Amino acid sequence: MKPSFIYLASQSPRRAQLLGQLGVRHELLLAAPDEDAEALEAVRGGESPSAYVQRVTGLKLDAAVARHARLGLPPAPILCADTTVALGRVILGKPEDASDAHRMLGMLSGHTHRVLTAVAVQNGRRRVAALSVSRVTFGKVSRKDIADYVASGEPLGKAGAYAVQGRAAAFIEHMTGSYSGIMGLPMYETNALLQQAGFKA
């Protein structure tokens, strides 16, 4: 009998919401406090943004598969995803603090950047993966608008220091690609991967 749910190895409420839109039931499979999940996101010197986000997603899925086995949970597909923002070859991950968020938003102001979201699904021994690349252009954002946005707290914990579905939408002049991918889970690619992995919602 095929499982009627998947495991989502992500703390992101946006990814959970997007899976719900696809009609996919899921259970969270989160890292334990003794697992250093942040260490998996370290950037290697000279690594391209696309190579980086795909490598990190694979490492997160490796950790989730090991966690699933260690806990002795019922079998079901496991999904992982990771999102990064890139300005040229410069990778902008989650800001360390408010000052770092100011720096990132100042870099993005008036420029076009890429949002890369890698998704990987493992079902048994089978693993499938995809990469979504979108482009976002920020208009010129004033220092006051950046300061007000950072003060809202929204940029913290977000790749590139902004959330497309939040107040930063006012900064966006143009975008191409996958809106859900910019949010953190490209729905078209995710649906295709789940089907390839043998899961039907």
Positions annotated as catalytic residues are 82
Report strand pairing: 78-87 vs 6-8.
Answer: parallel
Does residue 141 come out as left (phi exceeding 0), alpha (psi in the -120 to 50 range) or beta?
beta
Sign of the dihedral defined by the CA atoms of residues 137, 55, 44, 68, in that order: positive
CA distance 31 to 10: 9
Q: Is 92 left (phi over 0), alpha (psi -120 to 50) or beta?
A: beta
Per DSSP, the three-state class of 151 is helix
Spatial separation of the C-alpha atoms in residues 177 and 115, rounded to whole Å = 9
